[in-house]
Structure 1
Amino acid sequence: MRVRVVVVGAGIAGTALAAALAGSRHEVVVLEQAPGPSPVGAGLVLTPNAVRPLRRLGLGPALDRVAVPIAGRDVLRYDDDLLLGATPQDGAHAERYGAPNLALLRADLHAALLAAAGEGAVRGGRYVTDLLESSDGVTVRCADGRSAHGDVAIGADGANSLIRSLVNTERYRPARRVLYRGLAPAERAPALLREPRVRVWSGRDRYIAAYPVSAGRRVAFTATVPAGARDPDSWAVRGRVADLLSAFAGWSPTARALFSAAEWVGMWGVHDHGPVPVWSRGRVALLGDAAHPTLPFFAQPANQAVEDAVALAAHLREATSLEAGAALERYARRRRQRTDRLREVNEEILAAVRAGGDDSPEAWTRTAAKAEDAHGDWIYGHEAEDEGPGGVPGDAGR
Structure 2
Amino acid sequence: MRIVVVGAGIAGVTLAAALRDSGVETVLLEQTQEVTPVGGGLQLAPNAARPLLRLGLGPDFAEVGVRLESRDMLHWADGTLVHSIPMGAEFEKRFGAPFYTMLRSDLHSILLAAAPPDCVRRGHYVTDVLENSDAVTLRCADGQEVRGDAAIGADGVHSIIRSLLNEERPRPGGRVIYRGLIRSDRVPEHLAEPRMRVWMGPDRYFSCYPVSGGTTVSFNALIPTGEPRPDSWTAAGRIDDLGRALHGWDPDVHTLLSSAKWIGAWGLQERTTVPVWHSERIALMGDAAHPTLPYFAQGTNLAVEDAIVLADQLRRSTPLTVGQALAEYATVRSRRVKEVHTTICASLRALEQAETEERRVILADSEMATADWIYGYDPEHPGETTAASSSIGNHPNRPRT
TM range (shorter): over 0.9
Is the counterpart of residue 156 in structure 1 residue 154 in structure 2? yes
The alpha carbon displacement at 1:329 in A equals 0.6
The alpha carbon displacement at 1:324 in A equals 0.6
User: Do the aligned partners of 2:309 and 2:380 also contact (CA within 8 Å) in 1?
Assistant: yes
Matched residue, 2:375: 380
User: Do the aligned partners of 1:40 and 1:105 also contact (CA within 8 Å) in 2?
Assistant: no
**Any idea what the Cα deviations from partners look like across 1:309-357, whole Å, max 9, x if unmatched?**
0000011101001111110011000111111111111122134346xxx
The alpha carbon displacement at 1:239 in A equals 5.0
User: Do the aligned partners of 2:28 and 2:120 also contact (CA within 8 Å) in 1?
Assistant: yes
**Any idea what the Cα deviations from partners look like across 1:2-49, whole Å, max 9, x if unmatched?**
x21111111111111111111110110111112114366310111111
The alpha carbon displacement at 1:202 in A equals 1.1
Unaligned segments of structure 2, at least 5 residues: 385-401
Matched residue, 2:355: 360
Matched residue, 2:178: 180
CA distance, structure 1, for counterparts of residue 380 and residue 360 of structure 2: 32
CA distance, structure 2, for counterparts of residue 286 and residue 40 of structure 1: 22
CA distance, structure 1, for counterparts of residue 202 and residue 194 of structure 2: 26
The worse-fitting range, judged by mean Cα deviation, of 11-20 and 358-367 is: 358-367
The worse-fitting range, judged by mean Cα deviation, of 91-100 and 214-223 is: 91-100
Matched AA of 1:145: G
Aligned pairs, number: 384
The alpha carbon displacement at 1:294 in A equals 2.4
Aligned pair partner of 1:65 in 57, 63, 66: 63
Matched residue, 2:73: 75
Aligned pair partner of 2:271 in 273, 277, 288: 273
User: Do the aligned partners of 2:231 and 2:269 also contact (CA within 8 Å) in 1?
Assistant: no
CA distance, structure 2, for counterparts of residue 175 and residue 9 of structure 1: 24
Unaligned segments of structure 1, at least 5 residues: 393-398
User: Do the aligned partners of 1:203 and 1:360 also contact (CA within 8 Å) in 2?
Assistant: no
CA distance, structure 1, for counterparts of residue 144 and residue 361 of structure 2: 54
CA distance, structure 2, for counterparts of residue 334 and residue 193 of structure 1: 40
Q: Give the SS at the match of 1:281.
A: coil
Matched residue, 1:114: 112
User: Do the aligned partners of 1:159 and 1:289 also contact (CA within 8 Å) in 2?
Assistant: yes
User: Do the aligned partners of 1:184 and 1:264 also contact (CA within 8 Å) in 2?
Assistant: no
CA distance, structure 1, for counterparts of residue 202 and residue 151 of structure 2: 42
Query: Could you tell me the percent identity over the aligned residues?
Result: 51
Looking at both structures, which has the greater relative contact order when contacts are Cα pairs under 8 Å and sequence separation is at least 6?
A: 2
Matched AA of 1:247: A
**Any idea what the Cα deviations from partners look like across 1:34-68, whole Å, max 9, x if unmatched?**
21143663101111111110011111111111011
CA distance, structure 2, for counterparts of residue 242 and residue 351 of structure 1: 29
CA separation of 1:123 and 1:65: change in aligned 2, threshold 3 A = same
Which runs of structure 2 are paired with 1:1-398 in the superposition (5 Å)? Answer: 3-38=1-36, 41-238=39-236, 240-353=238-351, 358-387=353-382
Q: Give the SS at the match of 2:236.
A: coil
The alpha carbon displacement at 1:96 in A equals 0.8
**Any idea what the Cα deviations from partners look like across 1:58-94, whole Å, max 9, x if unmatched?**
1111111101110001011101111111110012222
CA distance, structure 2, for counterparts of residue 220 and residue 353 of structure 1: 24
The alpha carbon displacement at 1:233 in A equals 4.4
CA separation of 1:39 and 1:263: change in aligned 2, threshold 3 A = farther
CA distance, structure 2, for counterparts of residue 335 and residue 291 of structure 1: 10
CA separation of 1:39 and 1:9: change in aligned 2, threshold 3 A = closer
The alpha carbon displacement at 1:105 in A equals 0.2
Matched AA of 2:154: A
CA distance, structure 1, for counterparts of residue 156 and residue 358 of structure 2: 32
User: Do the aligned partners of 1:78 and 1:361 also contact (CA within 8 Å) in 2?
Assistant: no
CA RMSD across the alignment = 1.6
User: Do the aligned partners of 1:6 and 1:153 also contact (CA within 8 Å) in 2?
Assistant: yes
The alpha carbon displacement at 1:122 in A equals 1.2
User: Do the aligned partners of 2:37 and 2:104 also contact (CA within 8 Å) in 1?
Assistant: no
Matched AA of 1:275: T
Matched residue, 1:396: none
The worse-fitting range, judged by mean Cα deviation, of 323-332 and 36-45 is: 36-45
CA distance, structure 2, for counterparts of residue 283 and residue 253 of structure 1: 54
Q: Give the SS at the match of 1:384.
A: coil
The alpha carbon displacement at 1:365 in A equals 4.2
